[in-house]
Amino acid sequence: MTRAYDNWERLMAAVVKKLQLWELFHQHSRSPSICSQESESSDPSGFSSSQRLRVTCRRPEDVKEKETASTVEGSIHMSPRTFTFRELSAATDNFRPDLILGEGGFGRLYKGRLKGTQQIVAVKQIDENRGQGNRVFLVEVLMLSTLHHPNMVNLIGYCADGDHRLLVHEYMPFGSLDDRLHDLSTEKPPLDWNTRMKVAAGVAKCLAYLHDAAKPPIIHRNVKSSNILLGEGYHPKLSHFGLAKLGPTGGKTHVSTRVMGTPGYCAPEYAMTGQLSVKADVYSYGVVLLEMLTGRRAIDNSRAIEETNLVAWASPLFKEPRKLVQMADPMLQGRYPIRGLTQALGIAATCLLTDPDARPSMADVATAINYIVSHNSSPETASTRV
């Protein structure tokens, strides 16, 4: 069972108890690089300065596994441990260039193997020279230490050794959804219809959890196909929580904040006015769902100008029911149930409505996608267009 927190203070109290990260907060409260980067709050995720306390981080050998394990919907969850920089250098063979898995906005990601347990991990080295690096590190550690869901990536540990900031996540053997949709090869065949719907359902459940488990809700702010990672059996997990933000409280509809996120996925009201609500995640989810259904990238500069932006290309087609089938990803080779496709396109269209209030909640989206999964997933229906 997932756990609901009635308010942010209780959530933070749980973090203090579990992780004792306050020394880092204390350090950063004196650091101008983490403060005053957003107009309405100087803290990573909306914490007040009075909540910054001082403690020490426990070394890995001090952490007893029995103390730190908890169960989330049948799977064992371990609280993150601390690593020294030396341990992570050893795990990545001194950050060997051929172990680089990718490079995102905040630093490089390496495949590594932990000495001792031999566990394969993904080690992200946050580049301290990139703006927001410390903030992203802290928010990621706090979020992934406190919130747990089967469709959220696991944080195995972190390193805050001197100026080094590294995150150690579970290694996801099938890479990202982005790789699996847009970077195909003989070793990476296209995803079939059932797998796409299973991925869509898992991500929707995770976002519904983030929006509903904590009060105020947690807005991910960076939902995109490269942040959806695929494990064994293509089990999807949402990653990259460093830009997450607390949603509005006290009956307000939005928080006003600096615009972050990725072009092509960012909700129009947020991109234009900085007004952020959970419905911004719903919009970004709609873009990802559309990518899965059409096989097109959110922004594709190699296409004709009127087809560069996926949502702009799709919007007029949503209004023409007879053209919906033409939107399907050619890589599906017609192997999808037509009714399931039109239902899924309908869900994407409502997620992408310009008016945020008209978009559905993620809980409703999860229910609707589950309906498609349960009604259209037999091999017979998924192997034909009738």
Annotated binding residues for ATP, as ranges?
124
Residues between 67 and 106 with contacts to ligand ADP, criterion CB under 6 A: 101-105
Binds 229: which of ligand ADP, Mg ion, none (CB < 5-8 Å by kind): ligand ADP
Binds 102: which of Mg ion, ligand ADP, none (CB < 5-8 Å by kind): ligand ADP
176 in contact with ligand ADP (CB under 6 A): yes
Contact with Mg ion (CB under 5 A): which of 198, 224, 240, 279?
A: 240
Smallest separation (angstroms) from ligand ADP to the CB of 229: 5
Nearer to Mg ion, 100 or 338 (CB): 100
Q: Give binding residues as ranges.
A: 124
Smallest separation (angstroms) from ligand ADP to the CB of 107: 7
59 vs 44: CA distance, rounded Å: 24
From residue 148, how far is each of 27, 87, 247 by CA, in Å? Answer: 27, 26, 18
How many chain residues interact with ligand ADP (CB under 6 A)? 20
| Beta-strand pair 81-82/155-159 | parallel
182 vs 225: CA distance, rounded Å: 10
- Residue window 143-162: x/- pattern of binding to ligand ADP, with contact defined by CB under 6 A: ----------x---------
- Residue window 350-369: x/- pattern of binding to ligand ADP, with contact defined by CB under 6 A: --------------------
**Burial of residue 100 (number of CB atoms within 10 Å: 0-12, 13-18, 19+):** middle
Binds 178: which of ligand ADP, Mg ion, none (CB < 5-8 Å by kind): ligand ADP
Binds 327: which of Mg ion, ligand ADP, none (CB < 5-8 Å by kind): none
Contact indicator for 155, 167 with CB cutoff of 8 Å: yes
Binds 141: which of Mg ion, ligand ADP, none (CB < 5-8 Å by kind): none
Residues between 85 and 124 with contacts to Mg ion, criterion CB under 5 A: 104
From residue 26, how far is each of 20, 57, 163, 251, 300 by CA, in Å? Answer: 11, 12, 14, 31, 43
Helices (H), 185-264: 193-213
Nearer to ligand ADP, 101 or 338 (CB): 101
**Spacing of C-alpha 340 from chain mean position:** 25
Contact indicator for 238, 227 with CB cutoff of 8 Å: yes
From residue 299, how far is each of 61, 257, 271 by CA, in Å? Answer: 46, 24, 15
Contact with ligand ADP (CB under 6 A): which of 23, 179, 300, 364?
A: 179
Stretch that binds ligand ADP, among 61-69, 224-232, 299-307, 357-365 (CB under 6 A): 224-232
Q: What are phi and psi of 116, to 5 degrees?
A: 95, -85
Return the residue matching tokens 């301290």: 128
Q: Please, which residues have CB within 8 angstroms of residue 250's CB and are 6 or more apart in sequence?
A: none
Nearer to Mg ion, 262 or 309 (CB): 262
The CB-nearest residue to Mg ion is: 240
Contact with ligand ADP (CB under 6 A): which of 11, 21, 34, 122?
A: 122
Nearer to Mg ion, 196 or 240 (CB): 240
3-state secondary structure of 53: coil
Contact with ligand ADP (CB under 6 A): which of 150, 175, 268, 360?
A: 175
Binds 366: which of ligand ADP, Mg ion, none (CB < 5-8 Å by kind): none
257 vs 50: CA distance, rounded Å: 21
Binds 88: which of Mg ion, ligand ADP, none (CB < 5-8 Å by kind): none
Q: Which residue type does 51 have?
A: Q
From residue 14, how far is each of 131, 199, 274, 288 by CA, in Å? Answer: 28, 30, 30, 32
* Contacts with ligand ADP, residue ranges (CB under 6 A): 101-105, 109, 122, 153, 169, 171-172, 175-176, 178-179, 226-227, 229, 239-240
Q: Which residues bind Mg ion (CB under 5 A)?
A: 104, 227, 240
